[in-house]
Amino acid sequence: MDPQPYCDDCLVPLTVRHLLVECPSLIELRHRYLYRCRGRDSSVYYISKVLGPESLAQGHHVFRFLGEAGLLSKLEF
């Protein structure tokens, strides 16, 4: 089994949650592409909104976020 990858910026395990809602180095991209996934009157992002039914809403661009962050090419489908 391959070792757990780590975030180059935060030095924590690289997880879907970390990339989509936690990593501070991606906050600008998160604001640009995932702004509809924040809590009401908050800058907190929720994984359930990023990957849930809201992800189908116009203006939600998780794949653009992943692409511009340089992560889309690293995903295995």
What is the per-residue pLDDT for 58?
A: 63
The per-residue pLDDT for 1 is 75
Give the residue extent of every domain in the chain: 16-72
Q: What whole-number distance in Å separates Cα of residue 42 and Cα of residue 28?
A: 15
What is the distance of C-alpha 7 from the center of its chain? 13
pTM: 0.77
Rounded Cα distance, 66 and 77, in Å: 14
Task: Give the model confidence (pLDDT) of 44-71 as tens digits.
Answer: 888 888 888 767 666 668 888 988 998 8
